[in-house]
Amino acid sequence: MHLILAQLALCCVVSGHVTTPAGTPLSAAVVTAVSSSGTTEQAVTGRDGSFSIHMERGRYTLRVTAPGYVTTEVAAFAVTANTAIEVEAEPFDSPSLRIIGNVRVNGTTVLSRAVVPNVLVTRAEMERAGNSRIAQALAVIPSLTFARPDGGSDAAASLIALRGPDPSETLVALDGQILNDGNTGDLDIARFPVAAFSNILVTEGLGPADTEGSNTIGGAVNIISLRPTRDPHSALSFSLGSFGSSEGWLNSTGTAGRLGYAFAFDDQQERGYVNQDNLLCVDPAPDDPCATTQAIHLGSAVSSRAALGAFTWTFSPNAAANLRIFSLGNTRDESASFNTPVDPAAQNAGDLFIGPGPATYAQTIRAYDLRGQAPLGAGSLVYEFSASNNDVGLNGSGPSPYDISHRDKRQTYALSWERNFANGSLAFGGYVRPESLTEDGVDGRQAQMIHSYFVRTTIEPSAKIRLQAGLFASRYSTFGTNLDGRFGASFDITPSSVIRASIGTGFRAPLLIERVVFPPDELPQDANCVALGQGNADLHPEHATEYELGYAHRFNDKTNIDVAAYRTNLRDPIENFYPLGASCPATEPPAQSFPINVGNVVYQGAEIRLTHRTDHLFIDARYGLNVAYPLHFPGSVSNPTSGGNLVANQQFLNIPQQQAGLGVAYDNLGWHAAVQTYLRGRNNELNQGPFAVLNAAVGKRSGPLDITLAGTNLTGAVAGKFTLPGMGTPYRGLVQQPDGSTAFGNLPTDALFLQPAGVRIIVTLRR
């Protein structure tokens, strides 16, 4: 009786649920509330995952722990009335590269206290904006820069880099399974469909809690596949749009007894913006470059299909096994990207073009992953086996290293042990990863064996302080051993403000193909008779040290701001040496261009993100400053990604210093609308002046039916059909003079273009 009266005297009840990411209730989870004065209240979740704690008014830190799950907390939240808290606990075998629990207080996401910046793009956001491919959603994030080696067409490759000019320094993963291509070091994400995924987590910089080792410099983009749900859900969608585009997809999730399931199928077809018959100049004569022509069809058609299956078998609340299978295959007509008009003003059917002619690009990705967890002693054993193939086939010839037929195979065998404590956690483990690469024009198979081991810990010495540290040891059969360490901390300076800092090291391993040495007479030669594409067996990894400082503030229950500043010092970057002064006729053997470790590079910048959320409106505004420049570089090297000559203290080509993004979403009474816009400053990936792209969508739900009208590039920014050689914004660099010397001048660049305004009508049925 006295206990009941004491509880009634307290002002408030804090209640809620703890669930798994699939929505399954998590029983026996311990929910601990610590007041600012140090007193504690505790509850244990029931079979339905619910908990309830009576509290006095004040500020509290709430911590949720459960065997087999990462500690999840919300710090310094105010209790002035009855409060509802929903906690989504991530299991130790989470598919995230950096594990972050999800907490909502009274329906609003809490202030992030992660020690490195992260951006979560949800499936709901992408669907509201009418996105069909994840690349459209990622374009709004200012810390991401896009590389377009084959032009701006929707049929061309689209690559992403975090905080720097080199996409190979950024990890791209599916459920934590690395998919970076072994030939180029990055991943073409142009055709990854929204329909197969639940969200995308972009984590920037070097994180102490990384689960994938330290072979990264800019950060990681982790695409999370559909997960099983507690209740059954399914959806069927069809759409038609401009340029002969169509899409049909089906997905379904649910649980049957101990088995959770999720699957998706997606089919996308595009006739393409370019679809015309022209004349191609062949066997040019010196006095008449187009004396001989042949008929050619130029197009940008795409046929793409994807399938995903994910299954979870639950043995107990803290033991489960997860199987995921993903397949993506697409065929693209890239002839519109590879061939250019002789006269930039004559781009219509029947006009003259120059280039390599027909080109069909085929991409096939297969990714299989089995992971799970089981109790072991006082902690949990986490295991994983994964395998992937990344195959590219080109029928024809192309202008960039991305246009080479090859097959990349990778397997991973991983094992780790993790344990939660009252004020922290400890984990250690590692993986073994064989990788092989087979490439057209290269005899034999390139291969390497990777061993990576880690120790990670999280300590919370008080309710206001969180510390994370990680130590990573890597051994590559190709170049040897690497040891990296990372440390991060966050501190609640006020109940509504948190400051964070981190420092760490990382590396980027040389690509297998960068180490292959070819006979000089097997290499193609450029206009100066320099042999291109040679490798260097003496390459060693790039090494980076990064410093990060961040601040987050919650103005009220609706508005947050997050600011980050960083500096990355990159040592011995891999760049391409070019023999200045070389000219035709070729020497015997010919002069060669090849990759070398040289000089230093600095990446530094700042990011600011403002979010505002009400019951029906969500606004997400972002601005990023990305500065990337080399130090102590000779004039004889160029960047492998952009191809531009490098000048000390000058911004890398194709990396705009200023980028911004804005997302606005509205949802009320069945009506929903979204606006996405992104801004690129000078020196952008299209070699154009500053431009802004606007995408928008509006729709109406009525019962299970949703009809949405979506538009892309509605303002027609930098729209066009073909790449125009030499007509882009000039790049200030070192120009080779006739006598072989170099001098500052304007280097020509190719102008690239985006597809013009287009619309889609989308009809979706949900159950």
What pLDDT, in 10s, does the model give residues 15-58? 888 888 777 788 888 888 887 777 788 888 888 888 888 888 88
* CA–CA gap between residue 48 and residue 42 (Å, rounded): 17
Find the range with the poorest average confidence among 554-563, 582-591, 628-637, 644-653: 582-591
Instruction: Report the pLDDT averaged over residues 70-82.
Output: 75
Find the range with the poorest average confidence among 252-266, 294-308, 639-653, 665-679: 639-653
Most confident of 75-84, 110-119, 579-588, 680-689: 680-689
pLDDT confidence bin for 5, thresholds 50/70/90: very low
* CA–CA gap between residue 196 and residue 185 (Å, rounded): 24
- Rounded to 5 degrees, φ, ψ at 482 are -135, 140
687: left (phi over 0), alpha (psi -120 to 50) or beta: left
Most confident of 105-114, 126-135, 289-298, 733-742: 126-135
Cβ-based burial of 349 (10 A; exposed 0-12, middle 13-18, buried ≥19): exposed
User: Could you tell me where the DSSP H helices lie in 29-188?
Assistant: 123-128, 134-138
Instruction: Report the pLDDT averaged over residues 201-205.
Output: 89
Residue 8 has pLDDT above 60, yes or no: no
* CA–CA gap between residue 473 and residue 505 (Å, rounded): 12
pLDDT the model gives residue 1: 47
pLDDT confidence bin for 758, thresholds 50/70/90: very high
635: left (phi over 0), alpha (psi -120 to 50) or beta: alpha
Find the range with the poorest average confidence among 438-452, 489-503, 577-591: 577-591
pLDDT the model gives residue 92: 74
49: left (phi over 0), alpha (psi -120 to 50) or beta: left
Residue 507 has pLDDT above 80, yes or no: yes
Residue 98 has pLDDT above 60, yes or no: no
User: Could you tell me where the DSSP H helices lie in 362-404?
Assistant: none
**Distances from the Cα of 320 to the Cα of 217, 240, 259, 366, 557, angstroms:** 33, 41, 10, 24, 36
* CA–CA gap between residue 514 and residue 459 (Å, rounded): 41
Instruction: Report the pLDDT averaged over residues 162-187.
Output: 92
- Rounded to 5 degrees, φ, ψ at 193 are -85, 150
Judged by DSSP in three states, 203 sits in strand
CB atoms within 10 A of CB 730: 13
Q: Using alpha carbons only, what angle is made at residue 457 by residues 451 and 460, rounded to the nearest 5 degrees? A: 165
pLDDT the model gives residue 99: 53
Judged by DSSP in three states, 96 sits in coil
One-letter amino acid at 438 equals T
* CA–CA gap between residue 443 and residue 464 (Å, rounded): 58
One-letter amino acid at 613 equals R
Cβ-based burial of 32 (10 A; exposed 0-12, middle 13-18, buried ≥19): middle
Most confident of 155-159, 307-311, 492-496, 587-591: 307-311
Judged by DSSP in three states, 360 sits in strand
Is the model more confident about 600 or about 403? 600
pLDDT the model gives residue 568: 96
What is the chain's percent helix, strand, coil content, to nearest 5? 5, 55, 40
pLDDT the model gives residue 268: 98
Domains and CATH numbers, the chain: 2-89 (2.60.40.1120), 118-766 (2.40.170.20)
Mean pLDDT of the chain, nearest integer: 89
Residue 761 has pLDDT above 90, yes or no: yes
One-letter amino acid at 405 equals S
Residue position matching structure tokens 């008014």: 57
Q: Using alpha carbons only, what angle is made at residue 429 by residues 427 and 432, rounded to the nearest 5 degrees? A: 155
Residue 415 pairs with which residues in a beta bridge? 383, 430
